[in-house]
Structure 1
Amino acid sequence: MNFGGTIRPNNKAVAIFLVSVATLYLIYTWRNSAALAKESAFGSEKVSIGEILCAAIAAAEAGGREVKAVREKGTELNEKSKGKTKEGVKDVLTDGDMRSHQVMYSTLTSYFPHIKVISEEHDENNISMEPVNFNKKCPALEQISKLEWAPNDSITIWIDPLDATKEYTENLLEYVTTMVCIAVKGEPVVGVIHKPFEKKTYWAWVGQGMAEELLEINKAPEADNESFIISLSHTGDAVENRIKSKFPNAKVEKAGGAGYKSLQIASRHNAAYVHMTHIKKWDVCAGHAILKALGGRVTTMKNEPIKYGSGANDQVLIKDGLLASLHNGDFYSKLFKE
């Protein structure tokens, strides 16, 4: 009896099997390629910076309306504590912060879904307000010398729905702003600062143009070189003492809100804005862009540049303080770095 016979494969079955495997492989490869191509296309697709500027102005003003409406209701602000700052100051959250965040974030993410938007606030309940409509050819573009485009994946939008929340709760409303900043490859390019209780909006696009309101306040005489502005809520005596050690006769003003202080520099009311402790990028990005557009300089207290990207290596916290000025930036940086 012969048990060692030869097994003959079924050529037709083998062929069908190989064709099936090859087909599945091609489908898998095609789907992955299509997904990567789609992702790449959205990332490399260019968007008009001018269009984002128009949306940013509309978003900041819509957020401002919410901030104003909540404050003027005369009811409780539903204050909550988000913890304390490094200096031990209570970090407050109100209905004004959240309602402004909801409309600003909704507007910017709805119209620009493939651009990273970073907000100071986070809505755990995922309540989304209706995005505001805006004119893609808004009046601001009439002040622009040259429109530009940038790839989606090179842009980061930073929003501060309510700057100076502590002062907001204390009814010190002159300090309150809503802000949007557009950064391209980490560089602050467009800044929008809206003052809801004055119904004024200041914006600038570096190298391209700026709001007439900003041009108007920048016509003031140059500030005294020894006139400084510092934080009302995050200071103590340390910052003032540091300034006085360099400028014994310095005039030091304390004020709330990074946006407000940036505008005080832009309006030449103060020569330099000094902040020695931690500060968040959404607090300073818009002001940075505006001062940069006016020829000013913004760095850390260690004279290091500040980047506003959204990559894995980009941090929200600026750990080495802030030094902003419209003129004599190098002078202040070298002096305070010593």
Structure 2
Amino acid sequence: MSDPLAPLVSAALRAGAAATAIYERCVAPEWKADGSPVTEADRVAEAIILEALARDFPGVPVVAEEEASAGRVPDIAERFFLVDPLDGTREFVGRNGEFTVNIALIERGVPIAGVILAPCLHRLFAGDGTSAWQGEVTAEGTVADRRPMRVRAAPPEPVAVASRSHPSPETADWLARRAIRHIATRGSSLKFCLLAAGEADLYPRFGRTMEWDTAAGQAILESAGGRVVTPGGEPLRYGKRGGSPETDFENGAFLAIGDPALLALADCPHP
């Protein structure tokens, strides 16, 4: 296949179109046991992606958020997919348009390819492990104006992005101790995309996230020259099992950065 990301892009576009149709109907959310919202759009988008991946990548396990919430988690191998069919459901419900469709391919714990679609913003971001690109989604559901992405050199005053719906005192303290004055809030995995596109520089996260929240963003950011590391400076890895159904695939704290030179600012040892 000339473009290995093409099946992921196609699946994301179809899922995004279905989610947008539901978004325009202003559906009410339901609430899961952990207090997080879920909508018809989450389930419809996930079904579209699962069907597409089963067809295009037969035999490769897929861990998807809503399936996992229902207790349906396949045995994973060295190679598997992580899917968040609607990242930023609170943004979806709040109708600010900052929700995304996330698909990532993991190999030996490393996110090696990822696609993120922001349907309401008409932007698609992708990375294949060696290069990253973004494009505009047309009214016909195709990707136009495809152009490469690269993280920017760290400016004298870095710009941080923080969660719109899940702020934390730990994040605010981390930014204050480093005198980061420029902070933008965004929903969903768009924060990774802003770093990859050279529109921001840092994304510290101390609140709870799951692997399907971060895998596609990490793949894209690292394909654009950035990094995602733990507070100890180790790369964030995937396929974490062995806990309980509530903690399997759960991430700890991490720092996403554009220019790797910012590891020094973050007091992170270089792996």
Range of TM-score over shorter length: 0.7 to 0.9
- How far has the Cα of 1:336 moved from its partner? 9.8
Q: Is this contact kept in 1: 2:127–2:220, CA < 8 A?
A: yes
Partner of residue 255 from structure 2, selected from 323, 328, 335: 323
Partner of residue 161 from structure 1, selected from 60, 67, 85: 85
Amino acid across the alignment from 1:274: P
1:211 and 2:133 are equivalent in the alignment: yes
Q: 1:210, 1:95 → 2: CA distance? A: 31
Cα 1:271–1:211 change in 2 (3 A) is: closer
1:71 and 2:23 are equivalent in the alignment: yes
**What is the TM-score of this pair, normalised by structure 1?**
0.67
1:234 and 2:166 are equivalent in the alignment: yes
| Bigger radius of gyration | 1
Cα 1:225–1:83 change in 2 (3 A) is: farther
- How far has the Cα of 1:72 moved from its partner? 1.0
Q: Is this contact kept in 1: 2:162–2:203, CA < 8 A?
A: yes
**What is the TM-score of this pair, normalised by structure 2?**
0.82
Structure 1: segments with no counterpart, 5+ residues: 1-47, 85-89, 127-151
Cα 1:163–1:332 change in 2 (3 A) is: farther
Amino acid across the alignment from 2:80: T
Aligned-residue Cα RMSD (Å) equals 2.9
Partner of residue 272 from structure 1, selected from 194, 199, 202: 202
Q: 2:124, 2:54 → 1: CA distance? A: 21
Cα 1:212–1:167 change in 2 (3 A) is: closer
- Paired residues for 1:156-305 under 5 Å: 156-173=80-97, 175-207=98-130, 209-211=131-133, 213=135, 215-216=147-148, 218=150, 223-247=155-179, 250-257=181-188, 259-305=189-235
Q: 1:217, 1:297 → 2: CA distance? A: 14
1:203-231 deviations in Å (ceiling 9; x for gaps) = 11112x43353745548775554321111
Structure 2: segments with no counterpart, 5+ residues: 136-145
Q: Is this contact kept in 2: 1:296–1:329, CA < 8 A?
A: no
Q: 2:28, 2:134 → 1: CA distance? A: 37
Q: Is this contact kept in 2: 1:176–1:196, CA < 8 A?
A: yes
1:307 and 2:252 are equivalent in the alignment: no
- How far has the Cα of 1:304 moved from its partner? 2.6
Q: 1:305, 1:242 → 2: CA distance? A: 19
How many residue pairs get aligned? The number is 251
- How far has the Cα of 1:111 moved from its partner? 3.0
Partner of residue 119 from structure 1, selected from 60, 64, 68: 64
Q: 2:133, 2:33 → 1: CA distance? A: 36
3-state SS, counterpart of residue 62 of structure 2: strand
Q: Is this contact kept in 2: 1:116–1:310, CA < 8 A?
A: no
- How far has the Cα of 1:181 moved from its partner? 0.6
Partner of residue 45 from structure 2, selected from 100, 107, 118: 100
Q: 1:315, 1:306 → 2: CA distance? A: 15
Higher helix share: 1
Runs of 4+, deviation exceeding 6 Å: none
- How far has the Cα of 1:299 moved from its partner? 1.1
Q: 2:171, 2:241 → 1: CA distance? A: 32
Q: Is this contact kept in 1: 2:28–2:93, CA < 8 A?
A: no
Q: 1:58, 1:224 → 2: CA distance? A: 39
Q: Partner of 1:130 in structure 2?
A: none
Q: 2:181, 2:268 → 1: CA distance? A: 14
Q: 2:102, 2:211 → 1: CA distance? A: 11
Cα 1:294–1:219 change in 2 (3 A) is: closer
3-state SS, counterpart of residue 118 of structure 1: strand
Q: 1:101, 1:297 → 2: CA distance? A: 28
Q: 2:153, 2:232 → 1: CA distance? A: 29
Amino acid across the alignment from 2:32: K
Q: 1:185, 1:312 → 2: CA distance? A: 16
- How far has the Cα of 1:73 moved from its partner? 2.3
Q: Is this contact kept in 1: 2:239–2:249, CA < 8 A?
A: no
